[in-house]
Structures are given as structure tokens and as C-alpha cells.
Structure 1
Amino acid sequence: MSEPTIITCALTGAGDSVSKSPAVPVTPKQIADQAIDAAKAGAAVVHIHVRDPASGAPSVEFSHYAEVIDRIRESKVDVVLNLTSGPGSLYSAEGSVLRPAPSVNPPMTPLQRLDHILKLKPEICSLDVATLNFGAIAMVNLQADLEFMGRTISEANIKPELEVFDLGHIRLAKHLLDTGVLKNPAFFQFCLGVPWGAPAQSDVLKLMRDMLPADARWSAFGISHHQFKIAAAACEVGGHVRVGLEDNLYISKGQLASSNAQLVEEAARIVSRQGSRPASAAEARKMLLAQ
């Protein structure tokens, strides 16, 4: 392969996973410590959500984000920080009316969804170019909101990681690029196997890759038992990979992973078997952030 493979580690997410695995980090210190360990294991990028330290529920509290980022930066471990902008997009039905999903996120404007990002200045943040049935709830990202968020992120010199869950999301992302809302070259993240988005299949992954702009870079992940299969498939056809306890709790069938670092170590082995090697944070910056 002509370049090393970026491994992103998604540390904790916002799903109901804390009760399912003791390895899922909850407090800012736990999240930061697992980010540092993941970086030492081979992750060039860490993708960060935060949780309420007492309950483990998803949180949008700025002080939690700030503590995680401060702890990672103070550690001097070199890793690219990627903060989520996803909270605020999840809705559930209350009768015939959609309302912010309880216990997932409060009502948030597009600017509020970016507040922690604009203050903490990570190098990358996620941007879900997606409206879809997300299991029993709905992820809603209207085009006008994406245009506002995309311009705001770009003006802050933060690289958006364009999370796409289906083929139409790639079409919308390309429209945002064509109209100048987002800047080329883009960085896409294929999110596969999520109900009810694109399935975690190698032929789907290749089709999504073939839809991208010629200068785009991309990564992919599959949820649950699809995680390592999709990591191998992405690496084989020139993509980068994402693993982590946000997406998958198991290191092998029936065996819970002990940490995010353990999942990264397995991803590094997969990357090596495909004839590549894990990229360093410096190499990831060169590939993703250089204009």
C-alpha cells in the first residue's frame, strides 16, 4: 500500500452500552485514559463523546468534554482529537410529534451542537450527513442545519469527518462540497450495519467508495460482530479503519473486550496482515488536514 492506514478509536459513544460491558469508559478520566492507551496501541485518531459520571448516560456537559481534552493534551501523547457533533440530532415520537429523544440529548440548536467544538478546537469533528431511522429513534439532520454547521466548522479551520450511513448521504455530502459549504479534499466515515442504514457488506463498502470524489479519503466501520470484518475489507481496498467500544463491545465471539486499546491492537494486526501499517498521528494529520 502507498500510505499507512489511519486507525480511529471511537471510545464510548452515546448508546446504552455501559450496562452491557464494564470496559466502557464513563468518567472524563476514564475516557481520557482509554484515549491515551488507544493511542499507544496504534490509534492515530480518537473520537470522543462524553457521559454523565454518575449514571453513565450520554451527556453534553461542556465541563466533561473540557476535562477529557485537557487530560489528553496534558499527557503529551500525540493523537488527533475528534469531537462528536452528533448530540442534538436524535428524536423519538411522542404521539404524532417528534421530540428530542429522552435520555439521549436535550433540545439543541445547530450552534449549540458545535459549542464544545468551537471552544475546545479539536483538529477534527464528526458531521453526520444523515437523516434515517436509527433503530427505534430517528437521526434528523436537515440540509439547512448541515449547511450552517458545515460552514461554521470550516470557518473555524476544523476538519469535518463526514459520517455517512447510506448512499443518499454521500450524494448530500457531495452537494455540500460542490456548493462550497464544505472544503475539498473531504474525509468520509462509512458507518455500516446500523439499523436502518447501509448493511455491513464488502460490496456495499466498495460501492460507497466508488461514489466519492476522486480526492477524498475515507474510513469505515461495522458495528458489533461486523467490526473486524469491515476493518479488513476497508484496508484491503484502500480505506482507513475505525474500531472502538462505541461500535462493538467484543474482541471475539462471546468474549467482551477489556478496553478500547485491545480493539485497537486487533485492528493493528488486521492492518499489518493486509500489507499496511498503522499511521502515526503525524501521518494522519498529513493525510487528512493538509490542504
Structure 2
Amino acid sequence: MRLLNRKVIISCAITGATHTPSMSEFLPLTPAQIASQSIEAAHAGAAILHLHAREPSDGQPTPSPDVFSQFVPAIVEATDAVINITTGGSTRMTLADRLAYPRLARPEMCSLNMGSMNFSIHPIAAKMASWRYEWEKGFIEGMEDTIFRNTFRDIKTIMLELGEHGTRFEFECYDVGHLYNLAHFVEQGLVKPPFFIQMVFGILGGLGAEPENMAVMRTTADRLFGRENYQFSVLGAGRHQMAFVTMGAIMGGNVRVGLEDSVFLSKGVKAETNAQQVRKIRRILEELSFEIATPAEARQMLGLKGADKVNFQAAASAA
């Protein structure tokens, strides 16, 4: 039973750039809230923390290095978790915006979306009775006519600029074609194993959260990269979160939870912290006899450069 003895990496996506403050009063918005929830999630068992920044005044997504620098060093000081900085930002940001902080910080890991797509949660707008801030309604409704741009040149730019400093990537793949896009860059020699592939299910515009889709993604990745050359993780958006990531672990993968992906802990019950979701998936996995990877073990599994080779303090000074 080799799979039952392997280590499972838990990633936690703390706040994201898609959910808005009106969708959950528990969504962390300020640097202090993001730091506090990140630290608690790490102590609960998350080996990787996937981080976005928000304007403290109203929760809008921001690429500002100054805002990132108000919470990332505090997290680093309090935990040994792998810090994974977004390069996706939000669908409204330019590539320069999205790279502003990673260029300074040179983290161990960054997310990297592997293709342009229609990424949207606009149907939620019709279900909202009220909005906490003026920007939210237009932001969500506007997704219906917004493309999440990730061209081949965009992806190449991120790989070259951040890869030069040893940053490795969480390759976010929302469809089978995104795996082939990654294979293209592998053939070009721009990225080398071990690859960390985040398979994303349940987002409108990408693959639905059906077991058959996970099987297709897994077998396609095996064919393109060889099972020994990659780790995969599973993200199930919204109501699909817990069941789908559990299935992913059973199929040999790692898992991602967090308020970026779902604001709920169970049906009709909002998660009050990211750590609640981490504790829940950890309990499920341990009851299935899986072992949870520590940050040190995650670094070894993913071939990361180490927390001593990042630039967070210098980035804070530059910001």
C-alpha cells in the first residue's frame, strides 16, 4: 500500500483575488488579518501558503509590493511554511502588475497559470442581496466579459525572470490543454522536473469537478511528463472543495484548501478561518492513513531552493 505511506502536501490559499468581502465576513483583507490567518493555517498543517494581497481599506485585489511587505515577513518570522506568491494576481492586472512583488521578493515558489481562459464567477452577482463596498458588484459582473490573459509570451516571461533566481512554480492547470502548454515549455528546456501541477476543477471556464476529469488530467500528465517527474495537487472550487481534494489524495495527489477556493467549511456553514479548512482536510487524510508533509518535506519533494535564499526583507525595504 505505497500510496497510503506517502506524504501529502497541504497547500492553503489564504484570500485570493476572486471572492469579495460581501461573500464572507471572514475573508482576510488587511495585512494583519492575512498574516494571522496564514500563521494559524501553517500551524494547523499547511506546508505551503499561497498568497495574494488586498487593499486594506476595502479589500480590492492589489499587486502592491508595499502591501505584500506588510504581511509576508511576519509570516516568515512566525512559520517555516513555503511562501507561494501569486503571479496570477487578478484578471484586471497587467503582467507588470502581477510580477511587481515576485520580482523583488524572489520567493521559493510562485503560482503560474498555464493558459488564457474565461475565468468567471459572475453568476454569483445575481444571488447577492447587498454589497459591502461599491467596487464589488461591477468587479464580479464584469467577469462575464473579461479574459484571464496568460499568453505563451506571458508565461515564458514569468518562467525566465523568476526562474533565473531559482523560483519554482505551482503550475495552475484548469484544462487538459494547459498540461500540453506546460509540456511545450518543458520541450523548450525552460522548466525542469520535479513539476508541481495544481489541477483546478469547478471554475466556470475550466474543467468541471467530475471524477472523470480528474482521471483524464492525471493520465495525461503521466503521459506527458512521466509519473516520476511531477507532483500534482487538486483544487476543488466552492462546494466541491473537500470531497474533490480528498479524491485527489486517494488518486495519488496532494491537496489545496483555503478561502480563496471556497468560503465554506461545510454545506451552508462558512469557514471562520483558513485553519478550519486545513484542520478538516488534515483530519480526513489522517483518518485515511495518509501522513501530512512538513514544510521541510515539501521542499524536498518539490526541489525548492530553501527559505534562506529568498529576498522578502530586501523587498520590504525596496517597497
TM-score scaled by length of structure 2: 0.83
Corresponding residue number in structure 2 for 1:204:
213
1:71 to 69, 74, 77: 74
- Residue 86 of structure 2 is aligned to residue 84 of structure 1: yes
1:153 to 151, 157, 162: 162
1:276 to 279, 282, 290: 290
1:21 and 1:61 map into 2 onto residues whose CA distance is 23
What is the DSSP-based 3-state SS (H/G/I as helix, E as strand, rest coil) of the residue aligned with 1:261?
helix
- Residue 181 of structure 2 is aligned to residue 172 of structure 1: yes
Corresponding residue number in structure 2 for 1:138:
147
Q: Which has the larger helix fraction? A: 2
Identity of aligned residues (%): 34
* Matched ranges for 1:236-275 at <5 A: 236-275=250-289
Letter of the 2:154 counterpart:
D
1:253 and 1:234 map into 2 onto residues whose CA distance is 20
Considering Cα pairs closer than 8 Å and 6+ residues apart, tell me whether 1 or 2 has the greater RCO.
Answer: 2
Give the deviation of 1:273 after TM superposition: 2.7
Letter of the 2:174 counterpart:
F
Letter of the 1:166 counterpart:
D
Give the deviation of 1:111 after TM superposition: 4.6
What is the DSSP-based 3-state SS (H/G/I as helix, E as strand, rest coil) of the residue aligned with 1:189?
strand
Q: Deviations over 1:197-232 (max 9, x none)?
A: 001122211211111111111101111110001111
Give the deviation of 1:123 after TM superposition: 1.1
Corresponding residue number in structure 2 for 1:94:
none
Q: Deviations over 1:43-86 (max 9, x none)?
A: 000000010000111111111111111111222x1100000001
1:289 and 1:267 map into 2 onto residues whose CA distance is 24
* Matched ranges for 1:1-291 at <5 A: 1-75=4-78, 77-87=79-89, 90=91, 101=92, 105=93, 108=94, 110-135=95-120, 136=144, 137-212=146-221, 213-214=225-226, 215-289=229-303
Letter of the 1:223 counterpart:
A
Which structure 2 residue ranges, 5 or more long, are not aligned?
A: 121-143, 306-319
- Contact kept? 1:46, 1:82, Cα under 8 Å: yes
Give the deviation of 1:112 after TM superposition: 4.3
1:234 and 1:49 map into 2 onto residues whose CA distance is 24
CA RMSD of aligned residues (A): 1.4
1:249 and 1:290 map into 2 onto residues whose CA distance is 30
- Contact kept? 1:66, 1:120, Cα under 8 Å: no
1:85 and 1:79 map into 2 onto residues whose CA distance is 19
Count the aligned residue pairs. 273
Give the deviation of 1:143 after TM superposition: 0.6
2:85 and 2:202 map into 1 onto residues whose CA distance is 22
Q: Deviations over 1:2-46 (max 9, x none)?
A: 421000000000113311211110011110111100001110000
- Contact kept? 2:5, 2:289, Cα under 8 Å: no
Give the deviation of 1:290 after TM superposition: 5.3
Q: Deviations over 1:84-143 (max 9, x none)?
A: 00126x2xxxxxxxxxx4xxx3xx2x4542231121122110000021111222111111
What is the DSSP-based 3-state SS (H/G/I as helix, E as strand, rest coil) of the residue aligned with 1:122?
coil
Give the deviation of 1:272 after TM superposition: 1.2
Q: Which has the larger strand fraction? A: 1
Q: Which moved more, 1:157-166 or 1:117-126?
A: 117-126
Residues 56 and 155 of structure 1, relative CA distance in 2, 3 Å threshold: same
What is the DSSP-based 3-state SS (H/G/I as helix, E as strand, rest coil) of the residue aligned with 1:211?
helix
Q: Which moved more, 1:198-207 or 1:232-241?
A: 198-207
2:273 and 2:75 map into 1 onto residues whose CA distance is 17
Q: Deviations over 1:228-255 (max 9, x none)?
A: 0111111001100000000101111111
Letter of the 1:146 counterpart:
I
1:175 and 1:236 map into 2 onto residues whose CA distance is 29
